[in-house]
Amino acid sequence: MRKSILTMIFLLITTFSYSEIKVSVFENMKFENMNTKNMRNSIVGRGILEIQADEEDFGKIIELTFVEKSLMTNGKNPVMIRKIEVEDKYKKFVLNSKITHIEFTAVLNQRRIKAESKPADVVEGKYVGGIPIMISVYKGENTNEKQEAKNRVIK
């Protein structure tokens, strides 16, 4: 009986001692037609990721890695997404707030959709898909340790 109670207490303590970083989609990707010289015949989609963390996680380093290509579909028509990116400052950054919003972009080749010349009922519809994101969390240096080291050097 005592062993089972001790095991239960141990499991409860270990589950509460771990911190958790949650990543979710804050705003779904919406596509806009871009008519610029370097982005001819491209459709750019923008979405927002939300990273939620506890104060215990401040100072950790987060690295976001996206796949090069992905697919979206409306159930009848698959569409290739290429070049999924975030701003350079968010590819690898230090976590320092409870909620962080990160805008990511994806590029669709409009010419490839038009070249297939499929009927309108096949092309139209709500497109859904997934963008695999690899999120790496590294332990950053503690700011208190940095401050102590600076104080030792100055003295």
Is residue 53, in this structure, part of any structural domain at all? yes
Is residue 132, in this structure, part of any structural domain at all? yes
Sequence-ordered list of residues with C-beta below 8 angstroms from that of 99, at least 6 positions apart, any chain: 50, 51, 52
Sequence-ordered list of residues with C-beta below 8 angstroms from that of 43, at least 6 positions apart, any chain: 31, 32, 33, 34, 107, 108, 109, 110
Question: Which residues make beta-bridge pairs with 44?
Answer: 32, 107
Is residue 6, in this structure, part of any structural domain at all? no
CATH of the domain at 96: 2.60.40
Count structural domains, the chain: 1
State the pLDDT at residue 101: 93
Tell me the pLDDT tens digit for each residue of 137-150: 888 765 454 444 43
Is residue 113, in this structure, part of any structural domain at all? yes
Structural domain including 134 reads: 21-140
Phi/psi class of residue 83: alpha, beta or left (left: φ > 0; alpha: ψ in -120 to 50)?
left
Is residue 15, in this structure, part of any structural domain at all? no
Contact between 48 and 65 (Cβ < 8 Å): no
pTM of the full predicted structure?
0.66
Tell me the pLDDT tens digit for each residue of 76-132: 778 888 788 888 888 898 988 899 999 988 887 777 666 666 766 676 777 777 778
Is residue 128, in this structure, part of any structural domain at all? yes
Is residue 150, in this structure, part of any structural domain at all? no
